[in-house]
Chains A and B, each alone.
Chain A
Amino acid sequence: MIWSGLLIYWANDVYKIGFGSKTLLKFFPNSFYNALHIPFHLAEGMSYHFVFMWLFFINGFLYVLYTVFSGEWRYLLPKKNSFKEAWQVLLHDLHIRKIAPPQEKYNAAQRIAYSAIIVMGIGSILTGLAIYKPVQLGWLCAIFGGYKMARIIHFALTIGYVLFFVIHILQVIRAGWNNFRAIITGFEVANTKEDATAEEPIKK
């Protein structure tokens, strides 16, 4: 989906980060396009984009339905203290803070990240529709501040997914095999002391 988006974006690659006439970061340098064989594939990019949008939409829709009906949303939505705890998780993961906040199924940072990604997904669908049918869905386009702004949001969200993906993969590698197995199998193996009595809380 991002690949086909790049094929489209290339045709009018105007976005950059900078101030005044100074450009800090241009999306994207020519070497990047050439390495990925991006140039002159606008039509191809659009056709893939408007086919795979269905796959991503249906997949996301089913995932949200599942979390709602299975009750898994309870582990995924941020709680009152999640924002404070997420900061502590960040400090811990950067090895600035020694003690991690209590870990449930997902920690506070994960709760925020996994909820934010759903909001981002909805944002991509809505800005995408606004760009796709800016006349028939003119009201939607207006909500996002017009055609140009909707395009910028749609693009920025995609950069967000890339960052999410990179951090997510790094964290999975860092967390190791047991965690990865849990992602695939849905259960986690916890070692308990053989001699622990039933009354005592089990500690790792």
Chain B
Amino acid sequence: MANFLKNIFTKNGKLSTDELIVKKTIISFFFFIVLMGAGFWGWKWLRHQPETANGTRQPLRNVLDMNESLFRKILSNRHLSKEYSEADAVKKVRVNGDVGLKSKFDTSSWRLYVIRKNGDTLTLKLDDIKKLPKTDIVFDFKCIEGWDQVTHWAGVKFSDFVKAYGLTGETQMKYVGMSTPDKQYYVGIDMPSILHPQTILCYEMNGQPLPLNQGYPLRLIIPVKYGIKHLKRIGTIYFSNNRPPDYWFERGYDYYSGL
């Protein structure tokens, strides 16, 4: 053993072939084991990082946020979700999740509250929204769980809505927050995505008023995001420069969740 160690510091030319083989083997295996150990240690380190309030270990969250800023650069109003014909849309639309819909709900007293920058609240009835230009969209709805479904929705483009109700000043801010009337479900969406031309405040599915379990009277349809952001039964809309709280973000999912 002592000889091996000595040979490591001896010049190659002075060693016999057998000694050289042993020397090179030892050095190579040394680095092999060190690299394996480093990989193992790195993994252990990561697994020992505490989970933060948003359900993810901080180093992972940092990379997710880095991914967001990278992939936001390719987000464009010209990149549209592929649209299908109405005949392609399924009749039986999957219902996935009822958070925010479980409280007692009086449909007649429902109002949409839009909180303006100066703190004023704009209160709207469904007819105030229905009278705006209607946009239909048939697209492949994608759930974060991995399933997708071609579905048909209709409502007013969010970008048309903000113009009609003089909210363009508010859209200078970075985020939009939305929550259900009972505040149990809430999402935050970056401004470029909410102003995307396919994003609609939706009140119809397959040409009929939304069913209760699909968010009657008004829900969000935002094809550039996973289903977790398509909030059902919108109660309040507000604007912010900071990330509004987001239900699934707090449970470990990516904030951006952009497609």
Contacts and interface: CB of A to CB of B under 8 A. Distances in A.
A54 interface: yes
B251 interface: yes
A148 B148 contact: yes
Contacts of B143: 12
Interface string B42-80: 000000000000011101110110010001001110011
B28 A186 contact: yes
A43 B223 contact: no
Chain A interface residue count: which class? 20 to 34
Contacts of A9: 146
A67 B74 CA distance: 31
Contacts, number: 87
A43 B251 contact: yes
B40 interface: no
B79 A136 contact: yes
Chain B interface residue count: which class? 35 or more
A84 B32 CA distance: 35
B205 interface: no
Contact of A184 (B28, B67, B74): B28
B254 A50 contact: yes
Contact of B56 (A47, A142, A147, A187): A47
Interface string A118-140: 00000000000000111111100
B259 A135 contact: yes
Contact of A42 (B63, B76, B144): B144
Interface of A: 8-9, 11-12, 14, 42-44, 46-48, 50-51, 54, 132-138, 142, 147-148, 151, 181, 184-187, 189
